């Protein structure tokens, strides 16, 4: 188990370093002088000189990366030019909102996707399977920002049941928080539900065709128990691992969902930063996303190892 | 990191083990065509894709109005005989903008995936066939790129490149490249272990020749399936970027950008939101249907 | 005459595929007495496993399909039973032991959980009672230190031990019939012998009937009362074990016997091992006559045109049935003269 953990970490660290290099290198794409671009609207030569100094823009690229990466390791992601605040502070402020949204969306995705996938695997080739596959295809194809708009149109504009936008902290009012989050979570979870359904179906089909499922049936175990007790736990490992990979899509989708519902999270921070030419914030958000994604995959690997008795005792 | 990609659903084909170049033999090609036609959903997808492409190409002849011409009498005009899809916030004809919008969506889908394939395929071939430190370097790079979620990377790229449709295409293409590197590499490694490749090597063929003549044709089906499904993802990505204001710039029409403005007029002019969304949905659905059908038809293991 | 325990009548099974229906079992009929051990021999695709799985509803449907026949178990037609009623028989009155204990045991459940399941379902034992009995069962199949091993997972057992666990599961509810499907195929030769010996011993203790399915005639010789040879979904020969070995009447049986290494050290034992020429037929397009005819040097034109019925072999022991138009002993004698 420890060796497994070490091996995974040994792979994750260089990946993160390389990803940070790519993110840092994005700066080089800025047209014209980097210092001028970084200052945004400001044209004061003194400010530009200050920026040039602060980001060591006269040094060669690798040295600049060194300064930046060193800062990132110390939790210093630079300052937001627009908001005059450290980027790390902004992220710490916005991250919980997005994490809540992401977790609720994952819950929605699992609650819809896994049962649907199990059902369609058990009823392979029958009507239920066709219907479930159709729903999954719909979920994969509908752009989630459009779905968000349609839901707002229905539940906020027409029916007036749910708020169209805004965010209330769960510590202020849990019910208002949930009322504000239910549509975003559903919209965001929808596409992932489709993917989870397909993963679950594939994993379950593999397991349902296995010899030990036949053994269980030969013991007189009922179909329901065969599915839930014998097949599903063994299908869980690929579902967990693949589900964690979907977290990237979840974060991508969160950017749009937050935009549609004006949820003040990570994605909204990034989009606002993009429009304010607040590049330190953009980089900060991207590196945090990548780190979160890598950490989650690591967690998924560990979780699947914990579920797998062969690895647990090794 | 484990396998998988952040782009939509990408259940890639396993290498068509042992089968000689699928697309080289006319017999197999016609068999493939027959299997494809046996799937109504795949045919429907193909037909819709074809119609959308025709619509994009012949937009100037089909569109009833100039998509950028404003008409103050038609500001947020409800659908009518003159304007079947209604008018937008400055009175432009929504139908005309939908028809022209197909150019941005399909163009972005095709161009960005073409870019991703033309970068990813050679790199994947190189990594899979050369092995060693080249493979290590390319694979680590792929892992790192895959660690940054697709749309987030595309947004960041578009942000630094500056907002425009062309930059959005580049951003989407670059973000999708890692998927093709990884897929090609996996395919190459599977095919390279096959006997016929061993035989070609034993006959003294140089490595580049084996890669191009013997390996490439065998991995084409998997790449084709992945490309089709990635076009679907790229169309959504373009619409997303345009929705965020990072793609097609006004007044040029794009379905995503149309939704962006429609969001502000939801209670007064819901048709502004319905049609562009429906168009994106239809285009993405069509490519997904076709891609799924393609995969099933190319993968002989997928029976029943 | 007493009523047979199992009475299979004209059972037929097909699988639907893209390329047409695969006729896996084509009219199989036989009976099994209480306490009898029947060895069913054939190569893969002979229908030997499929027909027993099908009679208990264990083939995937679709694509599998039972196309005809009756299977009376203690007088009840299994094929007419509902899934719920079949569940009561599976693992209860009929126990199973499958091949490859590596994949046939659930890797994610402890051995105890897997043995306990049928006990609770069929015998209605409570958790403690079932666990105590599970321990007894592991003792029964000679797994040392049973109490300590109950909570281990299958991968912590050796191949032979896993097969013993499978047998414990198959016998857990004292079945009247134990079906062992290639139960020793995946094991080393020495372990195979141990398992066969164990089953024989348990049979003496518990007295159940056994259907032992294998492709290995050698295994069958030691354990069976009756041997039945299957090919292409049909029974080609059937009879008392000694008589089948001493006086085979079907060319396919002869081929199987000749492919056995003879360890007796006799002169005949030093001959080269025989291999049956040709390949099994395409089960989608079966030939009209004897399915083995295309590979059979003794085949007559009638063999190719018409399927011979399974009937008493002339001059053989009573109950020795064969499906052949030719007279194998006569042909062999003629061959020997030449």
What confidence tens digit (pLDDT) does each residue in B151-169 have?
A: 888 888 888 888 888 888 9
Number of domains in chain A: 2
Same domain, A170 and A74: no
Domain coverage including residue A130: 95-313
pLDDT at position A181 is 87
pLDDT tens string B186-238 = 888 887 777 777 777 777 777 777 777 777 888 888 888 899 999 999 999 99
Nearest to C112 by CA among C147, C141, C67: C147
Which site among C59, C106, C155 would you substitute to test the A interface, given the most A Cβ atoms closer than 10 Å to its Cβ? C106
In B, minimum Cα distance to C20 occurs at: B304
pLDDT bin (cut points 50, 70, 90) of residue A105 is very high
Domain map (residue ranges) of chain B = 45-59+87-302
pLDDT at position A62 is 84
Residues 6+ apart with CB under 8 A from B119: B173, B174, B177, B180, B181
pLDDT at position A116 is 94
| C203 lies in some domain | yes
The CATH number of the structural domain formed by B45-59+87-302 is: 1.10.3720.10
Of residues A181 and C285, which shows the higher confidence score? A181
Instruction: Annotate C245-287 with DSSP letters as a single string.
Output: HHS--SHHHHHHHHTSPP-S--TGGGSPPP---S----TTS--
Which DSSP category does A127 fall into? H
How many interface pairs between A and B have CB atoms less than 8 angstroms apart? 169
pLDDT bin (cut points 50, 70, 90) of residue C181 is confident
pLDDT at position B116 is 94
Q: How many CB atoms lie within 10 A of CB C113?
A: 17
> Looking at the complex, does the CB of residue B148 fall below 8 Å from at least one CB of chain A?
yes
A17 pLDDT higher than 80: yes
| C18 lies in some domain | no
- CB < 8 Å from C in window 233-262 of A: 233-234
B24 pLDDT higher than 50: no
Burial readout B29-43 (b: 16 or more C-beta within 10 A, e: otherwise): eeebeebbeebebbe
pTM: 0.81
Of B147, B162, B256, the CB nearest to A290: B147
Same domain, A41 and A77: yes
pLDDT at position A86 is 87
pLDDT tens string C1-31 = 467 888 888 898 888 877 778 888 888 888 9
Cβ contacts of A158 on chain B, cutoff 8 Å: none
Q: What is the ipTM of this complex?
A: 0.83
pLDDT bin (cut points 50, 70, 90) of residue A311 is low
Q: How many residues does chain B have?
A: 304
Which chains does chain C touch, 3 or more C-beta pairs < 8 A? A, B
In C, minimum Cα distance to B303 occurs at: C18
Q: What is the mean pLDDT of chain A?
A: 84
pLDDT at position A110 is 92
As a whole number of Å, the CA-based R_g of chain C is 21
B290 pLDDT higher than 60: yes
Of A55, A87, A119, the position where a domain reaches its end is: A87
> Looking at the complex, does the CB of residue C174 fall below 8 Å from at least one CB of chain A?
no
B119 pLDDT higher than 90: yes
Number of domains in chain C: 1
Q: What distance lies between CA B152 and its chain's CA centroid? A: 17
Burial readout B181-196 (b: 16 or more C-beta within 10 A, e: otherwise): bbbbbbbbbbbbebeb
pLDDT at position A159 is 85
| C170 lies in some domain | yes
Cβ contacts of C104 on chain A, cutoff 8 Å: 211-212, 214-215
Residues of B contacting chain C (CB within 8 angstroms): 303-304
Of A22-26, C128-132, C187-191, the one with minimum mean pLDDT is: C187-191
Q: Which of A223-237, B29-43, C97-111 has the highest mean pLDDT?
A: A223-237
Of A87, A109, A133, the position where a domain reaches its end is: A87
pLDDT tens string A111-136 = 999 999 999 998 888 888 889 988 98
pLDDT at position B22 is 42
| C260 lies in some domain | no
| C196 lies in some domain | yes
pLDDT bin (cut points 50, 70, 90) of residue A186 is very high
Of A87, A119, A150, the position where a domain reaches its end is: A87
pLDDT at position C187 is 73
Same domain, A188 and A56: no
Structure-token pair, residue B30: 């016609």
| C125 lies in some domain | yes
Residue in this structure with the two tokens 């659930």, named with its chain if needed: C106
Same domain, A25 and A59: yes
pLDDT tens string A220-235 = 888 888 898 888 988 8
pLDDT at position A32 is 67
Of A295-304, B15-24, B99-108, C277-286, the one with minimum mean pLDDT is: B15-24
pLDDT tens string C266-279 = 444 445 556 777 77
B286 pLDDT higher than 90: yes
Q: Is C2 exposed, middle or buried (CB count within 10 Å of its CB: 0-12, 13-18, 19+)?
A: exposed
pLDDT at position A309 is 64
B302 pLDDT higher than 60: no
Cβ contacts of B240 on chain A, cutoff 8 Å: 143, 145, 255-256
Same domain, A227 and A261: yes
Of A26, A252, A283, the CB nearest to B157: A26
C327 pLDDT higher than 90: no
Q: What is the mean pLDDT of chain B?
A: 79
Cβ contacts of A209 on chain C, cutoff 8 Å: 60
Cβ distance of C87 and A220 shorter than 8 Å: yes
Residue in this structure with the two tokens 């229906």, named with its chain if needed: C21
pLDDT bin (cut points 50, 70, 90) of residue B304 is very low
The percentage of chain C sitting over the pLDDT mark of 90, rounded to a whole number, equals 3
Bridge partners, C14 (sequence order): C23, C65
Which site among C86, C103, C108, C123 would you substitute to test the A interface, given the most A Cβ atoms closer than 10 Å to its Cβ? C108
pLDDT at position B79 is 77
What distances in angstroms separate CA B267 from CA B71, B263, C158, one per listed residue?
A: 21, 9, 70
Same domain, A42 and A155: no
B12 pLDDT higher than 50: no
What distances in angstroms separate CA B129 from CA B122, B201, B211, B215, C270, one per listed residue?
A: 10, 12, 7, 9, 51
pLDDT tens string A55-66 = 777 778 888 888
pLDDT at position B281 is 93
In this structure, what CATH number is given to the domain that contains residue C148?
3.40.50.300
C300 pLDDT higher than 60: yes
Same domain, A25 and A169: no
Domain coverage including residue C119: 102-210
Residues 6+ apart with CB under 8 A from C318: C312
Structure-token pair, residue B116: 């991703």
Same domain, A77 and A103: no
pLDDT tens string C207-243 = 889 999 988 888 888 888 899 999 888 888 998 988 8
- Report the C-alpha gap between A142 and A138 in whole angstroms: 6
pLDDT at position A39 is 66
| C122 lies in some domain | yes
| C242 lies in some domain | no
In C, minimum Cα distance to B300 occurs at: C18
Of A23-27, C87-91, C165-169, the one with minimum mean pLDDT is: A23-27
pLDDT at position C267 is 47
Of A42-46, A163-167, B147-151, the one with minimum mean pLDDT is: A42-46
C263 pLDDT higher than 70: no
pLDDT bin (cut points 50, 70, 90) of residue A40 is low
Q: What distance lies between CA C189 and its chain's CA centroid? A: 19
Instruction: Annotate B181-210 with DSSP letters as a single string.
Output: HHHHHHHHHHHHTSHHHHHHHHTT--HHHI
Of A220, A308, A310, the CB nearest to C88: A220
Cβ distance of A212 and C100 shorter than 8 Å: no
Same domain, A170 and A46: no
- Report the C-alpha gap between C45 and C281 in whole angstroms: 9
Same domain, A50 and A182: no
Same domain, A164 and A239: yes
Asked if residue C115 lies in contact with residue C172, where contact means CB atoms within 8 angstroms, the answer is yes
Cβ contacts of A210 on chain C, cutoff 8 Å: 103
């Amino acid at each position: 188990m420890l060796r497994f953990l070490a091996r995974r970490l040994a792979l994750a660290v260089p990946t993160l370093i390389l990803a940070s290099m790519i993110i840092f290198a994005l700066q080089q794409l800025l047209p014209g002088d980097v210092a001028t671009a970084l200052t945004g609207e400001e044209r004061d030569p003194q400010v530009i000189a200050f920026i040039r100094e602060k980001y060591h823009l006269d040094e060669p690229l690798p040295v600049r990366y060194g300064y930046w990466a060193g800062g990132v390791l110390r939790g210093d992601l630079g300052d937001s030019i627009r908001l005059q605040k450290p980027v790390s502070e902004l992220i710490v402020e916005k991250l919980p909102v997005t994490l809540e949204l992401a977790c609720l969306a994952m819950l929605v995705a699992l609650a819809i996707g896994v049962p649907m996938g199990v059902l369609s695997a058990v009823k392979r080739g029958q009507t239920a399977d066709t219907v479930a596959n159709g729903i999954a295809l719909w979920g994969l194809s509908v752009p989630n920002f459009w779905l968000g708009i349609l839901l707002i149109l229905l539940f906020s504009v027409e029916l007036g049941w749910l708020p169209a936008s805004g965010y209330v902290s769960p510590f202020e009012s849990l019910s208002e928080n949930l009322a504000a989050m239910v549509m975003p979570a559903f919209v965001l979870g929808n596409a992932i539900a489709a993917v989870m359904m397909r993963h679950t179906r594939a994993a379950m089909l593999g397991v349902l065709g296995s010899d030990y499922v036949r053994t269980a049936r030969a013991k007189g175990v009922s179909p329901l128990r065969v599915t839930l007790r014998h097949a599903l736990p063994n299908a869980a490992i690929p579902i967990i691992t693949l589900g964690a990979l979907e977290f990237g899509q979840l974060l991508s989708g969160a950017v749009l969902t937050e935009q549609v519902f004006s949820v003040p999270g990570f994605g909204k921070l990034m989009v606002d930063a993009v429009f304010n030419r607040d590049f330190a914030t953009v980089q900060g958000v991207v590196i945090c996303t990548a780190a979160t994604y890598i950490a989650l995959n690591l967690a998924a690997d560990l979780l699947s190892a914990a579920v797998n008795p062969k690895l647990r005792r090794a | 990191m484990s396998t998988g990609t952040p782009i939509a659903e990408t259940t890639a084909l396993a290498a068509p083990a042992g089968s000689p170049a699928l697309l080289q033999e006319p017999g197999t090609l016609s068999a493939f065509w027959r299997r494809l036609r046996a799937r109504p959903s795949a045919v429907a997808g193909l037909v819709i894709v074809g119609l959308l492409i025709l619509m994009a190409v012949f937009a100037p002849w089909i569109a009833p109005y100039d998509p950028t011409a404003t008409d103050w009498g038609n500001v947020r005009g409800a659908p009518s005989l003159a304007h079947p899809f209604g008018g937008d916030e400055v009175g432009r004809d929504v139908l005309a903008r939908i028809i022209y919008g197909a150019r941005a969506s399909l163009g972005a889908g095709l161009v960005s995936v073409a870019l991703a394939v033309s970068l990813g395929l050679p790199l994947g071939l190189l990594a899979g066939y050369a092995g060693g430190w080249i493979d290590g370097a390319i694979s680590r790079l792929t892992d790192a790129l895959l660690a940054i979620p697709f749309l987030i990377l595309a947004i960041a790229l578009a942000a630094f490149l500056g907002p425009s449709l062309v930059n959005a295409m580049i951003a989407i293409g670059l973000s999708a490249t890692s998927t093709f590197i990884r897929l090609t590499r996996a395919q190459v490694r599977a095919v390279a272990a096959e006997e016929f490749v061993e035989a070609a090597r034993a006959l003294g063929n140089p490595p580049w020749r084996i890669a191009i003549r013997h390996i490439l044709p065998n991995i084409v089906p998997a790449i084709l399936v992945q490309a089709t499904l990635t076009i679907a993802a790229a169309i959504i990505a373009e619409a997303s970027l345009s929705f965020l204001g990072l793609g097609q710039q006004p007044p040029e029409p794009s379905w995503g950008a149309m939704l962006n403005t429609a969001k502000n007029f939801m209670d007064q002019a819901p048709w502004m939101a319905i049609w562009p969304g429906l168009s994106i949905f239809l285009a993405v659905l069509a490519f997904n249907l076709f891609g799924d059908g393609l995969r099933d038809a190319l993968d002989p293991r997928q029976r029943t | 005459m007493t009523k047979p325990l199992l009475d299979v009548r004209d059972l037929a099974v097909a699988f639907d595929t893209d390329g047409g229906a695969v006729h896996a079992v084509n009219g199989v009929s036989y009976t099994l007495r209480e306490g009898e051990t029947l060895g069913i021999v054939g190569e893969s695709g002979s229908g030997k496993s499929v027909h027993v799985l099908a009679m208990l509803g264990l083939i995937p449907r679709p694509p599998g399909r039972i196309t005809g026949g009756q299977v009376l178990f203690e007088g009840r037609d299994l094929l007419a039973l509902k899934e719920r009623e079949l569940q009561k028989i599976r693992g209860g009155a009929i126990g199973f032991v499958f091949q490859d204990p590596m994949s046939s045991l659930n890797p994610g459940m402890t051995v105890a959980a897997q043995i306990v399941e049928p006990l609770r379902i069929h015998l209605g034992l409570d958790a403690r009672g079932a666990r105590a009995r599970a321990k007894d069962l592991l003792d029964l199949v000679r797994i040392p230190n049973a109490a300590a091993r109950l909570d281990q997972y299958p991968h912590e057992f050796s191949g032979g031990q896993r097969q013993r666990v499978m047998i414990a599961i198959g016998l857990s509810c004292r079945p009247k019939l134990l079906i062992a499907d290639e139960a020793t195929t995946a094991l080393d030769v020495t372990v195979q012998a141990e398992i066969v010996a164990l089953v024989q011993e348990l049979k003496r203790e518990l007295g159940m009937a056994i259907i032992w399915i294998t492709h290995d005639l050698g295994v069958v010789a030691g354990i069976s009362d009756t041997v039945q040879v299957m090919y292409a979904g049909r029974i080609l020969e059937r009879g008392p074990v000694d008589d089948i070995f001493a006086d085979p009447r079907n060319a396919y049986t002869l081929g199987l016997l000749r492919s056995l290494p003879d360890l007796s050290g006799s002169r005949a034992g030093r001959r080269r091992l025989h291999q049956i020429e040709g390949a099994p037929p395409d089960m989608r397009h079966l030939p009209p006559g004897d399915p083995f005819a295309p590979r059979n040097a003794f085949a007559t034109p009638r063999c190719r045109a018409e399927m011979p019925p399974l009937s008493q072999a002339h001059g053989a022991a009573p109950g020795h049935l064969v499906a052949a138009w030719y007279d194998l002993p006569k042909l062999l004698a003629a061959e020997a003269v030449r």
